[in-house]
Amino acid sequence: MTGGGVRWLLLDVGGVLEMVDDASWPGQFRTRWAAAFGLTDEEFSARLSQADLPDAARRTGVDDEYWGKIGATLGASAEVLASMRADFWDAYCGSLNEPLFDFLAGLRGQIGLAILSNSGDGARQEEERRFGFSAVFDPICYSHEIGVTKPEAEAFRITLDQLGAAHADVLFVDDVPENIEAARALGIRAHLHVQTADTIAVIRAAVGGGA
Q: How far apart are CA 203 and CA 190, in angstroms?
A: 10
Q: What is the pLDDT of residue 5?
A: 76
Cis ω before 54 (30° cut-off from 0) = no
- What counts of helices (H) and strands (E) characterise the chain? 10, 7
For the chain, residues with pLDDT lower than 70 are 1-4, 209-211
What's the pLDDT tens digit per position in 112-170?
Answer: 999 999 999 999 999 999 999 999 999 999 999 999 999 999 999 999 999 999 999 99
Q: Which of 22, 2, 6, 23 is nearest to 14 (CA)?
A: 22
Q: Residue type for 47, please? A: R
